[in-house]
Amino acid sequence: MIIKKNLKNPIFCIVAMNENRVIGDGKNLLWYLPGDLKRLKKITMGSPLIMGRKTWDSIGKPLPGRANIVLTNSISLKADGAIVVNTFEDAINKADEWIGLNLEINPDPIQKKIFLFGGAEIYKIGLEYCDNIEMTKVKFNFKNGVKFPKLNERDWQKTKLEHHLATDNVPEHSYWHYKRVAKIIK
């Protein structure tokens, strides 16, 4: 478990990747998994999402029922329906604020968790703050693309939750929960 001062709400990572840790081509996802998108919606609803500007661009609109927090170096980015930040620390602060405020207004749908939503640059910055990963493993032959960071396998306890065989349009995929077992004191 990461023991990190000032982390008011835990940060969960959510990601879909292939066997080479590829998560996308740099602009978009490489696969279309309708079941996984439903799962992602269910898991993240009522939470803040921290995403990179390129992922924001690729989605093209805010995901409803969640705070869409976009990390960019730009000081003039306009992103309708999103909260724009320039540092990861500020992203966490805005996420905590959003949870606090919304818990007061309408607590029912709000989860006291933040999601690290990608892409690769944001996973690289934020993974060390996560003790949990909701991972979709996709059987999809593709080597060149943006990649999820390499995990130290011994640091994670892995539980397979569901397996889905390939159909005509959807590649084989499975859902996993990774729980950090290594103790990191920051």
Nearest to 23 by CA among 147, 128, 151: 147
Is 52 a binder of ligand NAP (CB under 6 A)?
yes
Q: How far is the CB of 179 from ligand NAP (least distance, A)?
A: 19
Give the β-pairing of 22-24 and 156-164: unpaired
Burial of 52 per CB tally in 10 Å (0-12, 13-18, 19+): buried
DSSP state of 63: P
- Other CB atoms within a 10 A radius of the CB of residue 175 amount to 19
Q: How far is the CB of 10 from ligand NAP (least distance, A)?
A: 19
Q: Give 17 or 114: the residue with its C-beta nearer to ligand NAP.
A: 17
Binding string, residues 110-149; x marks residues near ligand NAP by CB under 6 A: -------xxxxxx--x--------------------x---
Candidates 1, 3, 8, 28: give the one binding ligand NAP (CB under 6 A): 28
What whole-number distance in Å separates Cα of residue 152 and Cα of residue 155? 6
Residues that bind ligand NAP (CB under 6 A): 15-17, 23-29, 51-55, 58, 71-74, 86-88, 117-122, 125, 146
